[in-house]
Structure 1
Amino acid sequence: MSIAQNLERLHDQIADAARRANRSETDIALMAVSKVHPVEVILEAYAAGQRLFGENRVQEFAEKSASLSSLADAEYHLIGPLQSNKTNRAAELFHSIDTVDSLKIAQRLNTAAQALNKQLPILIEVKLSHEESKHGLAPEDLPTLLNALAELPHLEPHGLMTVPPWSEDPESARSYFRQLRGLRDQQQRLHPTLTQLSIGMSNDFAVAIEEGSTCVRVGTALFGKRTYPPAAQ
């Protein structure tokens, strides 16, 4: 199937999941995860109507961005871990950083955004599993970071994101999604801008929508399986 056909199918599936959860599909964004894929698939998805894209690596997207300058209304989010020495470039390249997981990274992003004279939306990545390969802030540290963000005027915390352990069973992710929603709801009373929940990927986005996702991050179901070069593995 073409990317345009995959997009249409995904929107239908998102709409079905939203109806089951008594939600409006307009409240759920579809992010096309284009990491490792070439610029051509981004252009093809854009031509089919897609506007929101997620990339995992600052350097990889820096190399792609020169070929995407004509897509004026496209929006690019960083959804991979951010190293402190890449914060300046990330603030310059991306419309949002969705993986902030420490005060150090937040402070460096705030300084970079100030230099660029911009307000930078961010999501806080929370680690809810015990997998060493996963990144994110410990749930118990979330209140402290949110309070500290109040002193960083060039950052706009919009919500939370997480990546649950991989499983072929989508239901295995439900408890992680539910836990993140609980954290968001708890902190939103003190921090009203925390409205977003970036949860759900190709295999479990329907469950994520049932648990309150406002953005599902879909790569494989849209672009097909990735072929990783040795350096990207």
Structure 2
Amino acid sequence: MMKLEHNRQSVLQQIRIAEQNAQRVSGSVNLIAVSKTFPAADIRQLYQHGQRDFGENYIQEWQEKTIQLMDCNEIQWHIIGHVQSNKTRAVAEHAHWLHTLDRAKIAERLHEQRPDSLPPLNICIEINIANERTKHGIQPDELLPLARTVLSLSKLRLRGLMCVAQANATETELRQQFNRMAELLRQLQTIAPNADTLSMGMSGDMNVAIECGATMVRVGTAIFGKR
């Protein structure tokens, strides 16, 4: 179990170095530990060492973990997988963040199902930045119309953008994709000035993502190991 915390500290050190290299403020990049397919016991171990943000992809698996970890009441759950219409209620009722919004219908359902007792659900709109058929997300020219829908829903809080970069991209291609995401965030801020989040970068490409402005990196393998 101690290896998990050792791995997390190594990732945090890598983030700090990347921040320095990019001349960014220390602590400006938040680590989301991607815990999908790993047991609740692993999450609990990292929680006990101070990790609070955890990313999950699969709604049913995540729901089971929320029950097992009910006593870890400072956890921030980030849903980073595609959400189908029939799974929105669980997200609305128990998640803190959704990173993968790509349809107005999903936004409207989340708004309707978000309990009045909870603060607005933090939302990132997913951009299919490399225009890959196998990935979810919207095209850049669809951003502002969808953003306007989210802004009209009081139980949602539009925080920014998310992407999954092309898996086999060169460093030059990664930089182009991540820089484009930063441009799109600036475009979004023309109608949503409080949007402050770029969720991009994973175990293999987070250094480039941080260089290009990522504020959240989603790291699984480098912390938990291979699935």
**TM-score band w.r.t. shorter chain:** over 0.9
TM-score normalised over the length of structure 1: 0.92
Q: Deviations over 1:63-120 (max 9, x none)?
A: 1111101111111110000001111111112111111111111011110115665411
> Is the contact between residue 120 and residue 154 of structure 1 (CA under 8 Å) also seen in structure 2?
yes
Match of 2:81 in 1: 80
What secondary structure sits across from 2:141 in the alignment? helix
CA distance 1:88–1:115, shift in 2 (3 Å)? farther
CA distance 1:117–1:6, shift in 2 (3 Å)? closer
Contiguous gaps of at least 5 residues in structure 1: 227-233
Cα distance in 1 for residues equivalent to 2:171 and 2:55:
21
Equivalent residues in 2 for 1:62-101 (5 A)? 62-101=63-102
CA RMSD of aligned residues (A): 1.5
Match of 1:23 in 2: 24
Match of 1:159 in 2: 160
Q: Give, as a single letter, the amino acid of the residue that structure 2 aligns with 1:196.
A: T
1:132 Cα deviation after fit: 1.9
> Is the contact between residue 161 and residue 197 of structure 2 (CA under 8 Å) also seen in structure 1?
yes
Structure 1 window deviating more from structure 2 (53-62 vs 145-154): it is: 145-154
> Is the contact between residue 56 and residue 78 of structure 1 (CA under 8 Å) also seen in structure 2?
yes
> Is the contact between residue 151 and residue 157 of structure 2 (CA under 8 Å) also seen in structure 1?
no
Structure 1 window deviating more from structure 2 (162-171 vs 131-140): it is: 162-171
Identity of aligned residues (%): 40
Cα distance in 1 for residues equivalent to 2:33 and 2:17:
19
Cα distance in 1 for residues equivalent to 2:119 and 2:24:
33
1:150 Cα deviation after fit: 2.6
Equivalent residues in 2 for 1:139-218 (5 A)? 139-167=140-168, 169-218=170-219
Moved over 3 A (4+): 114-118, 168-172
What secondary structure sits across from 1:27 in the alignment? coil
Match of 2:62 in 1: 61
> Is the contact between residue 93 and residue 115 of structure 2 (CA under 8 Å) also seen in structure 1?
no
Q: Give, as a single letter, the amino acid of the residue that structure 2 aligns with 1:187.
A: L
Cα distance in 2 for residues equivalent to 1:93 and 1:179:
32
What secondary structure sits across from 2:31 in the alignment? strand
Cα distance in 1 for residues equivalent to 2:177 and 2:88:
28
> Is the contact between residue 171 and residue 204 of structure 1 (CA under 8 Å) also seen in structure 2?
no
> Is the contact between residue 151 and residue 158 of structure 2 (CA under 8 Å) also seen in structure 1?
no
Cα distance in 1 for residues equivalent to 2:181 and 2:132:
16
1:52 Cα deviation after fit: 0.4
What secondary structure sits across from 2:114 in the alignment? helix
Contiguous gaps of at least 5 residues in structure 2: none
> Is the contact between residue 202 and residue 218 of structure 1 (CA under 8 Å) also seen in structure 2?
yes
Cα distance in 2 for residues equivalent to 1:222 and 1:168:
22
CA distance 1:117–1:14, shift in 2 (3 Å)? closer
